[in-house]
């Protein structure tokens, strides 16, 4: 009996060793393929991943984790640079108009086309940047406290209450970006009316809802993950096509309203200034896609409440999706009167 147990233990140990060897071999094979794409004399200096938002936020975390694993596959230093201000507009403007197109500046950006349509005023376009690869998507959500006025209300009931008693439910928004657009879209689709309360970021908005100063906050899961795990808040609804793997029991706004177009998220991708040499873009694309498929990278993102690896898009596929997103936003902004034809 003891001998049989030892044999089973040895076989189990060998299987673990074998799996590690297979994984190591697979990674070395991927690194070899990426190395074969390496352009002559590039890179020689550190590559900068530029983020248009402050350190510690969702965009920053996305860039730093990605940088760590891209470094693993190219054996070269990557530095994350934060150029924040004006809800991302300052950094986005830098990337679109000032950044070098030599492959040493890579923007980790989201919904660049919204700034193009609403704030750039024709001075630059989202097309000033070329997509390298899709990184991840984080849907907008609404949260309420577990001891507040809406603690027992469903999303459907909250929307109905905002129809019966207009402007009595206060919702946190970030001006001129998706959290505000989500509120407007819900109002358009339901006839409800909420009071929009502007904040400079997700963290102060979540603090306000916890303090009872507003009824609804939310934005993105990583920003309130710790409060959700502590049982202080619950997710009311999510602005996505499908239910998130993190919230399988929470309805989407589309489900509740019988629609299919309420989709507002932080749709993140890597991009470089237009004119960057194609061979350098190809090298970066291969490295980023390899990093996003790395099991350790997927696991690390998951600890922050971000799913990667479930959807992979190369440069061409990412560009195609960007065009769809641009068209969607333009039509919505025309409907809401934010822009004119």
Domain boundaries, the chain: 40-137+266-335, 141-257
Cis amide prior to 319 (ω within 30 degrees): no
Q: What integer pLDDT is reported at residue 23 of this predicted model?
A: 46
Mean pLDDT confidence for 269-278: 98
Q: What integer pLDDT is reported at residue 13 of this predicted model?
A: 52
The set of residues, in sequence order, having a beta carbon less than 8 Å from that of 223 and lying 6+ positions away, is: 57, 58, 202, 203, 206
Q: What integer pLDDT is reported at residue 136 of this predicted model?
A: 93
Question: Are the beta carbons of 142 and 186 closer than 8 angstroms?
Answer: no
Mean pLDDT confidence for 218-224: 88
Show the tokens assigned to 233. Answer: 């808040």
pTM of this structure: 0.85
Show the tokens assigned to 104. Answer: 């040493």
The CATH architecture one would assign to domain 40-137+266-335 is 3-Layer(aba) Sandwich (3.40)
26 has pLDDT over 70: no
56 has pLDDT over 90: no
Tens of pLDDT along 121-150?
999 999 999 999 999 998 999 999 999 999
Q: What integer pLDDT is reported at residue 17 of this predicted model?
A: 47
CATH annotation of 141-257:
3.40.190.10
Q: What integer pLDDT is reported at residue 27 of this predicted model?
A: 66
Q: What integer pLDDT is reported at residue 175 of this predicted model?
A: 83
For 169, phi and psi rounded to 5 degrees? -105, 120
259 has pLDDT over 70: yes
Fold matches, 40-137+266-335 and 141-257: yes
Read out DSSP for 98-133?
TS-SSSSEEEEEE-HHHHHHHTSTTS--GGGEEEEE
For 236, phi and psi rounded to 5 degrees? -90, -40
């Amino acid at each position: 009996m003891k001998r049989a147990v030892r044999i089973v233990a040895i076989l189990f140990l060998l299987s673990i060793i074998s799996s590690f060897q297979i994984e190591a071999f697979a990674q070395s094979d991927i690194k070899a393929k990426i190395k074969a794409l390496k352009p002559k004399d590039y890179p020689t200096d550190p590559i900068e991943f530029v983020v248009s938002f402050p350190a510690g936020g969702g965009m920053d975390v996305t860039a730093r984790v990605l940088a760590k694993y891209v470094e693993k596959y190219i054996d070269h230093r990557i530095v994350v640079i934060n150029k924040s201000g004006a809800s991302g507009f300052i950094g986005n403007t830098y990337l679109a108009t000032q950044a070098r197109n030599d492959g040493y500046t890579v923007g980790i950006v989201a919904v660049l086309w919204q700034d193009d349509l609403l704030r750039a005023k024709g001075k630059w376009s989202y097309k000033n940047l070329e997509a390298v690869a899709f990184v991840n998507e984080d849907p907008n959500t609404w949260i309420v406290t577990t001891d507040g006025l809406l603690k027992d209300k469903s999303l459907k009931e909250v929307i109905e209450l905002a129809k019966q008693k207009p402007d009595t439910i206060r919702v946190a928004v970030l001006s001129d970006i998706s959290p505000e657009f989500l509120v407007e879209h819900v109002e358009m689709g339901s006839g409800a009316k909420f009071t929009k309360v502007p904040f400079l970021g997700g963290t102060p908005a979540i603090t306000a809802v916890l303090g009872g100063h507003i009824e609804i906050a939310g934005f993105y899961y990583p920003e309130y993950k710790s409060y959700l795990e502590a049982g202080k808040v619950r997710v009311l609804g999510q602005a996505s096509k499908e239910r998130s793997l993190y919230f399988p029991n929470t309805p989407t706004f589309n489900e509740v309203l019988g629609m299919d177009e309420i989709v507002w998220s932080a749709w993140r991708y890597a991009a470089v200034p237009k004119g960057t040499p194609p061979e350098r873009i190809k090298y970066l694309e291969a490295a980023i896609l390899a990093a996003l498929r790395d099991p350790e990278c997927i696991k690390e993102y998951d600890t922050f409440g971000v799913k990667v690896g479930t959807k992979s898009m190369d440069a061409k596929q990412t560009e195609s999706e960007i065009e769809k997103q641009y068209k969607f936003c333009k039509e919505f902004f025309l409907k809401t009167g934010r822009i004119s034809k």
